[in-house]
Structure 1
Amino acid sequence: MASGEGPVQRLFGISKRLLASLLATGETRLRLAVVELEEERARLVTLLLLLGLSLVMLLLGLGMLALLVVVLFWETHRLAAIIISAAVLLGGGIVIALLSLRLARRHTLLKDTLAQLALDRQLIEDHRESPRH
C-alpha cells in the first residue's frame, strides 16, 4: 500500500468528519431555536406591558364615559343610560376577548426553526433520491 492508512482508518476518518458536520448543523439549528425563543420572550414581555397599560387606560376612559352618560341622562332616563352603557361595555369586552383568543391561537413559536428543519429534511431526501454519478 502506498498510503499509510488502510480502509478502516479512512472509514473512521470519514465517519468522524460526518459526525462533526452533523454536530455543527445541529448546533446551528439549536442556536437558531434559542434566538427565536429569546425574541419571542422579549416580544411577549413587551406585549404584556403594553396590554396592561392600555387596559388600565381603557378601563378608566370607559368608566368616565359611562359616568358621563349616566350624569347626562340622570333626570330623564338614568336606568336606560346605565343599562345601555353596561351593555356596550360588556359587548365590547366580549368582542375583544374573542379577537384575543383568535390571535393567541396563531403559531409563531419556533416557526423559522421548524421551517429550516423541514428544508434540511427535504434536502436530505432529495439527495438520497438523486442518482449517483
Structure 2
Amino acid sequence: MAGPAENVISAGRRLIANLIATGETRLRLAVAEWEAERDRMLTLLLLAGAGLIVLSFAIGMLLLLIVVVYWEENRLQAIGICSAALFILAGVLIFSAKRVAKQRKLMAATLHHLDRDRQALGHSHD
C-alpha cells in the first residue's frame, strides 16, 4: 500500500506529464497553423503579383488608348485626368492595404486554445 508521500509524488508526476502533453499538443497546433499560413501567404503573393502585373499592362493600354483618342483635341487634359485617376486609385489601395494589415489572424486557433487552457486552470486573462 502506497503512503501519502508516494501518492503526492505520483500525482505530481501525472500533473507534470499532463502539462507536458498539453504543451506539446499546443506546440504542434501552432506549427501546423504556421505552415498552413505560410503556404497560403506564398500562394496569395504569387497570385497577387501576377494579377498586378497583368492589371498594370491593362491599365497602361487603357490610358494609352484614352490619350491617343484625345490626342488632337485635349491631350494634356486626358493625360492629367488619367494621372489623377491613378493617384486616387493608388491612395484607395494603400488605405485598404493598411486596414487589412492591421487585422491579426496568425495562429488565432492556438491563441484561443491557450486562452481556454489558462481559464481552465483558473487564471484570469490580462
Task: Tell which structure's C-alpha radius of gyration is larger.
Answer: 1
The whole-number CA distance in structure 2 between the counterparts of 1:81 and 1:93 is 18
Note the 1:1-133 alignment, pairs <5 A. Answer: 3=1, 5-125=2-122
Cα deviation, residue 101, structure 1? 1.0
Structure 2, unmatched stretches of 5+, are none
The whole-number CA distance in structure 1 between the counterparts of 2:55 and 2:98 is 19
The whole-number CA distance in structure 1 between the counterparts of 2:95 and 2:57 is 22
Cα deviation, residue 8, structure 1? 2.1
2:71 alignment partner, SS class: coil
The whole-number CA distance in structure 1 between the counterparts of 2:60 and 2:120 is 59
Corresponding residue number in structure 2 for 1:130:
none
**One-letter identity of the residue aligned with 1:113:** T
Structure 1, unmatched stretches of 5+, are 127-133
Using the size of structure 1 for normalisation, the TM-score is 0.88
**One-letter identity of the residue aligned with 1:72:** V
Using the size of structure 2 for normalisation, the TM-score is 0.93
Give aligned-pair identity as a percent.
46
Cα deviation, residue 122, structure 1? 1.4
Cα deviation, residue 59, structure 1? 0.6
The whole-number CA distance in structure 2 between the counterparts of 1:118 and 1:10 is 30
The whole-number CA distance in structure 1 between the counterparts of 2:46 and 2:21 is 38
The whole-number CA distance in structure 2 between the counterparts of 1:118 and 1:77 is 63
**One-letter identity of the residue aligned with 1:16:** R
Q: How many residues align?
A: 123
Q: RMSD of aligned C-alpha atoms?
A: 1.2
The whole-number CA distance in structure 1 between the counterparts of 2:85 and 2:104 is 32
